[in-house]
Amino acid sequence: MENTSRIIGEYTSGKFGPLLFITAGVHGNEPSGVQAIMRVFKALNSCKAKINGRIVGVIGNTNALNKNVRYIDEDLNRTWTEDNISLKNVHTSEQIEMHEIIKILQQYPEADYTKRYFMDCHTTSSDSLPYVSVQLVNDNNKWAHNFPTYIVQGFSDIVYGAIDHYFSRIGITGFTFEAGQHTSKTSVENHEGMIWLALKEACELDLNILPNYPSCVEKFAETNAPDQKTFKIIYRHGLEAEDQFKMVPGFKNFQKIYKGDLLAFKNESEIKSEWDAHIFMPLYQSQGNDGFFVIEKVN
Ligand SMILES: [Zn+2]
């Protein structure tokens, strides 16, 4: 993606209601959410659909997105700490991007809306079924359960400084949505499907009035409504910059693992599973601070 500006679009029918604040490209190597937001605005504008409130689509890391890299100086999904925000730190490219996003959000204050929602759009390095990552504060979890997809709890509690952590801290309801593999076409469709569903749930958009009922919604709802929906993170395998880490090939998100399974190599020693549980976010790219996570079912 080249020369994309911060605000991808915004849309309202002039009717009082909620704010739906969608962010995408917080990681610059994840253009899928940006493409999906563009499609949604194009469709909304062409059929002049009626919604309550307003939807705004915003790019996270513009600099990194234009260069097609995950980040320039540091991960923009780790910069949203209380200190960085209150001290107005602008030491890195990502801290500057962060303060620009905060400024934009300030143009849509709580008092102007019945409620404010966010969705932060991401993709994963390895092929994955889509899932929502939700922080268990406010009414995030209840809101997340309106969507037909896996729900993973506790990511923001382990990894500090994520953007959804910030949104939740200032009282906005929402979650992070991981749509699939970075470059997969399905990821764009899944992002688009989720945004349409969020417009339906939050802004009472009647999806049937769209000229072509978004097929991505049907596809998404059909293929991604699992029986066991909700998981929580029980372990994070963190990495230091100097660690040599190699995940054993072939692990898929949500795959069952058993005690004793060989999971990865770190600095040439074997890492074996201590759990009968599920693997989550196995690292198959060069940049990253998380080797893998382990999740278990929540009933
Ligand atoms: Zn991401």
Q: What pLDDT is recorded for position 15?
A: 97
> Among 223, 241, 262, which residue terminates a domain?
223
Expressed in angstroms and rounded, the spacing between residue 179 Cα and the centre of ligand 1 is 10
- 80 and 144 part of one domain: yes
Question: Which CATH number fits the domain that encloses residue 128?
Answer: 3.40.630.10
* Structure tokens given for 245: 């880490």
* pLDDT value at 1 more than 70: no
- 34 and 148 part of one domain: yes
pLDDT digits (tens, 9 = 90+) for 166-221: 999 999 999 999 999 999 999 999 999 999 999 999 999 999 888 777 788 888 77
- 60 and 202 part of one domain: yes
- 237 and 190 part of one domain: no
pLDDT digits (tens, 9 = 90+) for 216-272: 888 877 777 777 789 999 999 999 989 999 999 999 888 999 999 999 999 989 999
- 13 and 142 part of one domain: yes
Backbone angles phi, psi at 157, to 5 degrees: -80, -20
Parallel/antiparallel/unpaired status of strands 245-247 and 262-266 = antiparallel
Expressed in angstroms and rounded, the spacing between residue 238 Cα and the centre of ligand 1 is 17
Indicate whether 264 belongs to any domain.
yes
- 160 and 268 part of one domain: no
- 154 and 192 part of one domain: yes
Give me the number of domains the chain comprises. 2
Surrounding residues of ion ligand 1, Cβ less than 5 A: 27, 30, 122
- 138 and 270 part of one domain: no
- 52 and 95 part of one domain: yes
Indicate whether 256 belongs to any domain.
yes
- 160 and 237 part of one domain: no
Chain centroid to CA 127: 15
Expressed in angstroms and rounded, the spacing between residue 122 Cα and the centre of ligand 1 is 4
> Among 198, 223, 248, which residue terminates a domain?
223
Expressed in angstroms and rounded, the spacing between residue 211 Cα and the centre of ligand 1 is 32
Indicate whether 246 belongs to any domain.
yes
Expressed in angstroms and rounded, the spacing between residue 75 Cα and the centre of ligand 1 is 9
- The domain in which residue 39 lies consists of 7-223
Expressed in angstroms and rounded, the spacing between residue 290 Cα and the centre of ligand 1 is 12
